[in-house]
Amino acid sequence: MAKYQELADTVFRGDAAKCRELSLKLVDGGAGPIEILNEGLYVGMAFVGDKFKSGEMFIPEVLRAANAMHESMDVLRPLLTETEEISKGTVVFGTVQGDLHDIGKNLVCMMLEGGGFNVVDIGVDIPAEKFVEEVKKNKAKVLGISTLLTMTMPSIDDVVKAVRADNVAKDVKIMIGGAPVTRQYADLIGVDGYAPDATGAVDVTNELCK
């Protein structure tokens, strides 16, 4: 809707102060928080995703856009009532034990938030039991497991086995990714999804949550 286009453009440009200002203006004008999210913020972030995918936008710009979106989210959050379902589902996301890389993980988490998911980022160097515990605690629909090191790739399989062995956590959909991870590896260890990059991760998560 035209009314929300300026906000979507502002997210795209990564102007956090303007995002806050426009969100407050839309709220004052009677717009609902869900509409603002769906028609403004998510539209802007989807555009960011497209441009990142096509190589027209780079990591720092994506992070700036995500930051701008968060500024608007701070305005909207108090207005959302408990009954309003703003998220498409909860994604628990972490990097396996032994791996401290977090730039890619953070980027994927931000894009997932921009795609309308509630993301619980459990951090880096996470042991398998902690993944299981967080899936259960957060009633996650999807579990994202990341690693950048070839050496720690087997830890992905350890997490998958621990999750599948748990009576409560076992049905969560599992997506994996990170530079050394391949679709073949995902097929080999029997997970539900694999994505090579942040925008791919949003597409796969949407599929897994259908």
DSSP 150: G
Of residues 163 through 182, those in contact with ligand B1M by CB under 6 A are 175-180
Given 3-state DSSP classes, what are the helix, strand and coil percentages for the chain, each rounded to the nearest 5?
Answer: 60, 15, 30
Known active-site residue 155: yes
CB of 10 to ligand B1M, least distance (A): 23
Q: What token pair was written down for 191?
A: 């997970």
Known active-site residue 72: no
Distances (CA, A) of 121 to 98, 110, 125: 17, 10, 12
Cα separation of 19 and 176, whole Å?
32
Based on the shown chain and the rule CB under 6 A, indicate whether residue 61 belongs to the binding site for ligand B1M. Answer: no
Of 15, 99, 157, 158, catalytic: 99
CB of 12 to ligand B1M, least distance (A): 18
Check if the beta carbon of residue 92 is closer than 8 Å to that of residue 120.
Answer: yes
Q: Show the binding pattern over residues 82-121: x = contacts ligand B1M (CB under 6 A), - = does not.
A: ----------------xxxxxxxx-xx-------------
CB of 24 to ligand B1M, least distance (A): 32
Known active-site residue 101: yes
Of residues 132 through 161, those in contact with ligand B1M by CB under 6 A are 144-146, 148-151
Q: At 179, is the secondary structure helix, strand, or coil?
A: coil
